[in-house]
Chains A and B, each alone.
Chain A
Amino acid sequence: GQNIDQPTEMTATEGAIVQINCTYQTSGFNGLFWYQQHAGEAPTFLSYNVLDGLEEKGRFSSFLSRSKGYSYLLLKELQMKDSASYLCAVRDSNYQLIWGAGTKLIIKP
């Protein structure tokens, strides 16, 4: 079966750095996405990785290792507004998005 694993919940301090990991086992691979979802709202796109390596976008970076079936999302200079769930999703060989259940990130002052 296809599976995306992420930690259920993480806590970090305002101004700090946090890394949210995602491991996947899917039928084929056609890209990995990270989305941010605030409580009661729709997911919003953060990043896309299809090749190995690090993609940086402001305070957010995303890393991919296809051989390891592994990605992480790195958030720097954390702000209170970063409190949200972060969902990892992998596009499989049928171009279907397989979603993780999300990691709830709690930011403390």
Chain B
Amino acid sequence: DAMVIQNPRYQVTQFGKPVTLSCSQTLNHNVMYWYQQKSSQAPKLLFHYYDKDFNNEADTPDNFQSRRPNTSFCFLDIRSPGLGDAAMYLCATSRLAGGPDTQYFGPGTRLTVL
């Protein structure tokens, strides 16, 4: 089945220790998104790629970086995680950025910062 896969599902890191979350997709979608979601809050878009074009949200901290080496894979790097970065990180894809194309989400990675 075509899908969006995130690894790991649960990640524990220490304060200030870099961590990388990964996302892969078999949908061959052009657009990949990274969201941060805290409990009972709306997903917050961090950035997205339209093919290789990177689009950073204005309020995304510099601590968050992303890489998309090819169509299928996208990575979220948190250079120095703080306690406030503990959250669910959701990867999503869409075929296009507009129209009725919906975003398809992976299962998420829950990040704990100790």
The residues of A with any CB-CB pair to B shorter than 8 Å are 4, 8, 30-31, 33, 40-45, 48, 50, 87, 91, 95-97, 99-102, 104
A101 with B98, Cβ < 8 A, contacts A40-B110, A41-B107, A42-B108 known: no
Is there contact, CB below 8 Å, between A30 and B43?
no
Complex CA–CA separation, A99 to B36 (angstroms): 12
A30 with B42, Cβ < 8 A, contacts A42-B90, A43-B105, A44-B105 known: no
Report the nearest B residue to A100, measured CB to CB: B42
A95 with B98, Cβ < 8 A, contacts A43-B105, A44-B105, A45-B103 known: yes
Is there contact, CB below 8 Å, between A42 and B45?
no
Residues of B in contact, count (CB < 8 Å)? 20
- Give chain A's interface secondary structure class: loop
Complex CA–CA separation, A95 to B102 (angstroms): 12
Question: Is B41 in contact with chain A by the CB < 8 A criterion?
Answer: yes
Q: How many A-B contacts if CB must be within 8 Å? A: 44
Is there contact, CB below 8 Å, between A42 and B42?
no
Which A residues lie within 8 Å of B88 (CB)?
40
Is there contact, CB below 8 Å, between B102 and A33?
yes
A97 with B103, Cβ < 8 A, contacts A30-B98, A40-B110, A43-B90 known: yes
- Give chain B's interface secondary structure class: loop
Is there contact, CB below 8 Å, between A101 and B40?
yes
Q: Closest 10 A-B residue pairs measured CB to CB?
A: A42-B105, A99-B42, A95-B98, A45-B102, A101-B42, A95-B97, A42-B108, A99-B43, A43-B105, A42-B107
Which A residues lie within 8 Å of B98 (CB)?
30, 91, 95
Complex CA–CA separation, A42 to B104 (angstroms): 9
Which B residues lie within 8 Å of A99 (CB)?
42-44
User: B42 is contacted by which of A50, A91, A102 (Cβ under 8 Å)?
Assistant: A102
- A-B contact sample (8 more), CB < 8 A, given A40-B88, A99-B43: A40-B108, A43-B43, A43-B90, A44-B105, A45-B102, A48-B100, A87-B42, A97-B45
